[in-house]
Chain A
Amino acid sequence: MSRDDARVQRWLFLGLVLSTTAAAATRLLAVFRFDQISLLDVLLLAVFAILFVWIATSFWIGCLGAHSLWRGTGQSHSVSAPVSTSVLPFSASSSRTALVMPIFNEDVAHVSAHLQAMLDSLREDGLVDRFDVFMLSDSNDPNRWAAEVGSWRDLRTTNKDARIYYRRRDRNTGHKSGNIAAFCQDWGALYDYMIILDADSLMTGQALGRLVNMMDANPRVALIQAPPLLVGGESLFARMQQFASWVYGPVYVEGLSRLAGEDSNYWGHNAIIRVKPFMENCGLPLLPGRPPLGGEILSHDFVEAALLRRAGWEVRLAPEVLGSFEASPPTLIDYLKRDRRWCQGNLQHVKLIFAQGLRTPSRLHFALGAMSYLASPLWLFAVVLFCAHALRLQYAVPVTYHGRYPVLSWPISHSVALVSIVAATLAMLFVPKILSIIVLLRNEPGAGRYGGRRRLIGGFLIESALSVLLAPIFMLSHSWFVANILVGRTTQWGTQPRGSAGVSFRRALVLFAPHTLVALIVGFALWLSLPGGFWWCLPLLLGPAMAAMLTWLTSNPSLGLRARRRGLFLVPSETQGLAILERVEILLRGRGADPSVAQANQKNLAA
């Protein structure tokens, strides 16, 4: 796609988003105009328009991706000269590449198994001597550190043909980005590229080799992000996330890649980076003000991509690179803990929208990232405003005055208009998912990889139902996070749990008691004061009211296993097998559980 085509596509996209929003907002305005428009109505209309822009953006990205995949033009445009076959002309490359895995108090058995599986995959493709592997530890837990050194020695003993290095910092200054920066300052000059991995990253030898090839072929590109798919989920929650990532993810990634082009984003791992421009341009600035919104940048990835773009380098998203995987947080609680950190990082980015010299698409990435979390309090605010509006109408006297004479005005139902607005909102949320299913059913090998059509559609329906229940829980939690950050409460950048041990019902009940209480109190108040509104709000109240039960059930690994046996949420890595993942599972079974992880889990439970 030429630059002019991309520019036309972006303007078209903007036009579609704005016109969709205008259509929905006009419909709502028509309802409000019937009575006199109040300040409350104006406020509600403004919040609704902002939220509709947000969901319309996601909707049109999904549509663009579905269109591209439907026509079969997908996965061929992200980088101008990608390698299209699985046979790698990698031997021709003289580039030096470092595989960099920053770790911080991670489950060492897990890290080691992932590295070993990647090394095995590289060996199968004859590429193992092309990469130098670095375990960059920031761990401050002595047990973990000892285990890391032990596993590093084992890796070196097992892989005599590979160069595997281990470095530990005494202080984790700058967290993950500081860890990578310290590596660059000491050893970056030795390498042309580095591939950043998370502790749960898994990339096949083919994918790693292909990324190097793409960098060799595109000297103006400084960063290529290989979109990761979720694998290895055991609990029902992780399996649901995994199913969504495989079924809906490719459509969104394709749309995003087409739209963003050279202005794509970086997601922090499973990406290859040209080291020299990274070192020259990506020393992270300090943000003005104090934490949580100022100081050290926490979500470094978006900022690094923006800085590379500012310097004129291209940043690409490459859906054509298959074989890039990561793991999902095992439970809703772990997912929300991660969201708490990301929320703080993404809200910091709001300041960066107003930084001079950045490109507009980079600013949009920052804005969309922040909106992922700001949307929740806005939805909550919108619901409150809708209820207030309905209450005002309910208690209004149905009389207007012509001069001194009262005229009885008959109440008029706006149900049809309101239902059409709700339907449009739901369509924005669900149509891209339906399009993903249609694309999968049409393209070969299609639904068979998901256990067949019936199971694919069944998975979609159950995932959608669970999403409807979970969405208000996310809304309340994110709103709480945002409020906390805005009053200055900061969070620690911790470790993400990698295995699933489930959550006890008691713990879930304690943690989600505020959600349940809010749902019950609001439900009761609505039932008393606004019985009609109660039924409208019921889908929003059900999830939080059952939050503890939902968390307990979806975190249960045995329930997840049972779902897998019944064919629910099956993904191709399970139906067709994925060699690298099977290798990880074999290695983990062989090594047994990491005792330090068990200790940490005990501490977590106690906390």
Chain B
Amino acid sequence: MFESGLCRGTERGNQSESSRVETLSQMFNEGLQRDIDYRDLMSSPDVSMPPRQPGLMPRQVLVFWTPQRALQNFVRGLRELRQPPRAMQHATISVPKADEPG
């Protein structure tokens, strides 16, 4: 299904092989490097993943109730109550007689 367009099995697909091995070598001490052939790990032709289809996963925003926020909302509500109610302007739509049915 996804075998075409293989890419390497790590997240740094575009990094050169030698630099990745260097990065890894820096991560671990020499004793461990003797035991593991990182070049073998990185260069394996089998290390495949499906071709990427990048998608967004946006970080969600949460707004929290705090005593200050509750107080602010309360004060805002009080202010709105003190303001005079908005005057309502009625729209007048004239309909030409020619459009009237019958």
Contacts and interface: CB of A to CB of B under 8 A. Distances in A.
Nearest to A311: B60
7 contacts: A149-B47, A165-B49, A188-B53, A189-B54, A189-B55, A190-B2, A283-B59
A454 interface: no
Contacts of B60: 281-285, 307
A501 interface: no
Contacts of B35: 143, 146
B36 A142 contact: yes
A492 interface: no
B11 A182 contact: yes
Interface in B45-102: 46-50, 52-66
B55 A188 contact: yes
B44 interface: yes
Contacts of A156: 46
Interface string B9-48: 1111000000000011001100011011010010010111
A602 interface: no
Nearest to B12: A170
In order of increasing CB-CB distance, the 9 nearest A-B pairs are A189-B53, A283-B59, A189-B55, A355-B62, A354-B65, A283-B57, A186-B52, A146-B36, A279-B57
B41 A167 contact: no
Contacts, number: 109
Contact of B46 (A153, A285, A356): A153
Chain B contact residues, majority secondary structure: loop
Nearest to B25: A142
B11 A184 contact: no
Given A156-B46, A187-B52, A356 B41 contact: no
A149 B62 CA distance: 39
A535 interface: no
Interface residues of B, number: 37
Interface of A: 132, 140, 142-143, 145-146, 149, 153, 156, 163, 165-170, 181-182, 184-190, 279-286, 288, 307, 351-352, 354-357
A284 B1 contact: no
Given A185-B57, A187-B52, A279-B57, A352 B12 contact: no
Contact of B10 (A170, A185, A187, A286): A170
Given A143-B36, A185-B56, A356 B49 contact: no
A185 B27 contact: no
A149 B44 contact: yes
B1 A132 contact: yes
A50 B46 CA distance: 57
Contacts of A190: 2, 50, 53
Contacts of B47: 149, 166
